[in-house]
Homo-oligomer: A and B are copies of this chain.
């Protein structure tokens, strides 16, 4: 049976009542499993992970997008993470017995339904993108919610579904298909966001760092610290330990220490096993030596 993962990100990370309402359609549905949801106060953003049967996951997520459009007014939204919609992004990841093309088709179906049902303009991104310049989410979202009117005045930025006009409260949405990604944050014992930002620049691809790291800096004010916040877009080629050690190494320059790290949402086993194998210097070890690999087949 095919299994898809879907990781919608909603622009609400603080109001627990709203968060529960947004997540509600993903609960207790046959064929859909809510794995994880985490509101981030600094980002003012909610990251949800669901897995299950493709069509059932898509239908449940469609409902959540509707709830978010009702509850979130982007005109009043503030947070440290770039965003342009109430449901900001919604990627599908093929997990089992399905291809990337299947995931792309699912993204298209959802896109069509979102525009028709809620009147929200939809951009398809990453593997589902219809033009090369729409592959990168950062490019699609550039200008954020506040820049949507200007974006839609450019004919190059006509949405893939819906009219070239922002939804008055829900903005726009990016729906896509992609490989699994790890949302990984490293904590620094400094409040100085400049330092975190400089470190982020050294490790990320866009400014000369590792090929499969996207990174930025954020303040975590309630803990008097900053974070290098990352997306590891291909953990088989840029491992988590490499990101961790690189940040540690760069931080030394500023007399700053790495205090720990966190994975947001769900992480594939393989990525973590690789970390263990590195630190223990494991010889001749691979996934087939892991008991659970053998139980799943």
Residues of B within 8 Å of A277, CB to CB, are: 272
Rounded to whole Å, the gap between the CB of A213 and the closest CB of chain B is: 15
Q: Are B260 and A294 in contact (CB under 8 A)?
A: no
Closest residue to A36 on the B side, CB-wise?
B289
Q: Does A137 contact B (CB under 8 A)?
A: no
Inter-chain CA distance A241–B294, complex, in Å, is 24
- Tell me whether A290 and B269 are in contact (CB under 8 A): yes
Q: What 1/0 mask marks residues of chain A from 155 to 181 whose CB sits below 8 Å from any chain B CB?
A: 000000000000000000000000010
The number of residues on chain A lying at the interface, defined by a beta carbon within 8 Å of a beta carbon of chain B, is 45
Bound complex: CA A290 to CA B5 (Å): 13
Binds B, one of A40-48, A80-88, A280-288: A280-288
Contact B95 A295 (CB under 8 A): yes
Per DSSP, chain A at the interface is mixed
In the bound assembly, the distance between CA atoms of A263 and B288 in angstroms comes to 12
Q: Does A273 contact B (CB under 8 A)?
A: yes
| Contact of A281 with B266 at beta-carbon distance under 8 Å, contacts A95-B291, A294-B51 already known | no
Q: Complex Cα distance A269/B289, Å?
A: 9
Q: Is A275 an interface residue (CB 8 A)?
A: yes
* Chain B nearest CB, measured from A275 CB (Å): 4
Those of A107-129 within 8 Å (CB) of chain B: none
Q: Is A276 an interface residue (CB 8 A)?
A: yes
- From A272, A277, A289, A295, residue with most partner B Cβ within 10 Å: A272
Q: Does A262 contact B (CB under 8 A)?
A: yes
Complex Cα distance, B263 from A284, in Å, reads 8
* A290 and chain B: residue at smallest CB distance: B269
Known contacts A275-B279, A276-B272: does B295 contact A51 (CB below 8 Å)? Answer: yes
Q: Given the complex, which residues of B lie within 8 Å of A258, measured CB to CB?
A: 281
Q: A266 contacts B289, CB within 8 Å?
A: yes
CA distance A36 to B287 in the complex (A): 12
- CA–CA, A35 and B291, complex, Å: 9
A268 adjacent to chain B (CB < 8 Å): yes
Contact of A260 among B3, B180, B240, B283 (CB under 8 A): B283
Across the two chains, which residue of chain B brings its CB closest to A292? B269
Q: Is A96 an interface residue (CB 8 A)?
A: yes
Q: Taking each of A276, A277, A279, which has the highest tally of chain B beta carbons within 10 Å of its own beta carbon?
A: A276
Residues of B near A36 (CB, < 8 A) are: 288-289
